[in-house]
A = this chain, B = another copy of it.
Amino acid sequence: MTIRYPNGHAYRAPATKEHPHFSSAYTNYGKRGMSLEEALNESNVYYETQGLAVVHKKPTPIRIVKVDYPKRSAAVIKEAYFSTASTTDYNGVYRGHYLDFDAKETRNKTAFPLKNFHQHQIDHLRACTAQGGICFAIIKFVAHDEIYLYPAQELFTFWDAQVAGGRKSIPYDEIQDHGVLITPQIQPLIPYLKAVDQLLN
């Protein structure tokens, strides 16, 4: 069964030691039958085990209402609701740099719709940028099977233009021009730190 958020997006349980690949919904990731999120999580595990970076996806925020305590077994949450995250999904540290980003997929061929972001995520990325963090989006164009690292600074420009009444999406060719194409490989699956290196240089 595919578990879905109220907005229709598929829910994926956070990976645990017992269930490193648990996921209730898969979209195709290249030929590997893996979602963008799962591929990023695997990449982050690789980066951490190699001592290259420490980046984690934050758990999905849940508002818990009712918990049962059966005798001799673990507490069971019986009523809870998804709540809205106040930050982006991923952050961590890479060679002294604070990294902060969100990963988004679109099936649109010609543009990335800005409705994939919420105001509070943009606010968060802006606050982190102001503190000297390296902030970006990882955007997958499913139709092109391409993944880009797109700098937050560029995203802000389009976001502000939208708020001022401008277009509601970022053109694909703009992301080609100002983003950094990430070519999937065996390990890590999504070598996004190479793209971060380009941002830093």
Interface residues of A, Cβ cutoff 8 Å to B: 3-6, 11, 13-14, 16-17, 19, 22, 48, 51, 53-54, 56, 58-64, 67, 69, 74-87, 91-98, 100, 124, 127-128, 130-133
Given contacts A53-B131, A54-B124, A56-B87, contact A74 B82 (CB under 8 A): yes
B93 touches A61 (CB 8 A): no
A59 touches B56 (CB 8 A): no
* B residues less than 8 Å from A75 (CB atoms): 3-6, 81-82
Nearest-CB residue, chain B, relative to A19 = B63
B131 touches A93 (CB 8 A): yes
* Copies of this chain, tallied across the complex: 2
B86 touches A93 (CB 8 A): no
Nearest-CB residue, chain B, relative to A14 = B61
A56 touches B133 (CB 8 A): no
- Between A and B, 6 residue pairs with Cβ closer than 8 Å are A6-B75, A13-B63, A56-B86, A56-B87, A62-B64, A74-B82
